[in-house]
Structure 1
């Protein structure tokens, strides 16, 4: 097991932002890459229904600010957890399915996270194109686990946590699951923070 160097690639993730009808937002999804050597990420073809490693955020309420063609979403400090699903069961139509299995780590965003959506003029209307965000998250809990013929612990690989850069679509997925009024797909790439000192 080799620990990652600071700013070395930690993971690739993809998922969806879900806004509940009461305005609370959370994101759920799965990992395409994690720093576990020789560990199977999927049980079959790559998709949410075969992913062994998933994530789920605690719902939060975001604030919005407009600045011309930019729409800014301000996400408060919050937490998200990673799960090992030995028998994959994630489904985008059932967001709670991504927080099943063994919780192997929990992260807390280090500060306010700002997401930016860009809009362009299309005739008489403004059309939103994509959204971006970046945040750092500290690793606040980690549990060692055995999988794929080895023993692993995210704390060993990542050190203090990660900084993630994300891109989201501005076109909603329809229809949203029951209880939600907006769903947007996204992808995220994270680098390791490394160890303090």
Structure 2
């Protein structure tokens, strides 16, 4: 197992933001890349629904600020966890399914997260294009696990945590059958913080 250097690529993730009808927001998804170079991240026969490594956030309530063509979402400090699903059974139609399996790590965002959505003029209306955000998160818990014949621990690879840069679509997609009124897909890439001291 080789630890990542500070600012070295830690992961690529993709998922969706879900807003519940009470205004609470959470994000759920899976990993396209992790620093486990010798570990298969998905069951190739099942495409994206076969991902073994998923994440789920604790729901939070964001504040909104507008500045001309920029719409800002202010997300409070919160936590998200990573899960190992040995038998993947998650689906975007049931966001809680991303939190099944073994919790292998929990991260806590270190400060307020500002997400920015950009809009451009299209005739007489403003059209939203994409959203962006960046945040740092400290690794607050990590559990060693065995998978595909090897033993791993995110604390070894990442050190104290990550800084993630995210991009989201501004156009909503159809929400699951019940419980949510807005869903936006996103992707994120994170770099390792390395170790302090």
Normalising by structure 1, report the TM-score: 0.98
Native 8 Å contact 1:48 1:91 kept in 2: no
Q: CA RMSD in A?
A: 1.0
The answer (yes or no) to whether the contact 1:73–1:115 under 8 Å persists in 2 is: yes
Question: Does the CA-based 8 Å contact 2:94-2:176 persist in structure 1?
Answer: no
State the aligned residue count.
Answer: 197
Determine the C-alpha separation between the residues in 2 that align with 1:46 and 1:61: 34
Q: Supply the distance in 2 between the matched residues of 1:90 and 1:158 (Cα, whole angstroms).
A: 25
Distance 1:113 1:36, change over 3 A: same
**Retained in 2: the 8 A contact 1:130–1:169?**
yes
Matched, 1:88 2:88: yes
Task: Report the counterpart of residue 123 of structure 1 in structure 2.
Answer: 123
The whole-number CA distance in structure 1 between the counterparts of 2:87 and 2:175 is: 27
Relative to the length of structure 2, the TM-score reads: 0.98
Partner residue, 1:108: 108
Structural mapping, 1:40-79, within 5 Å: 40-45=40-45, 47-79=47-79
1:192 aligns with 2:196: no
Matched position secondary structure for 1:26: strand
Shift of residue 175, structure 1, vs aligned partner: 4.1
Shift of 1:44: 1.5
State how far apart, in whole Å, the 2-side matches of 1:163 and 1:117 are. 20
The equivalent residue for 1:139 is 139
Q: Deviations over 1:75-134 (max 9, x none)?
A: 000000000000011100110000000000000000000000000111111110000000
Distance in 2 between the 1:32 and 1:177 partners? Answer: 26
3-state secondary structure, aligned to 1:37: coil
Gaps of 5+ in 2: none
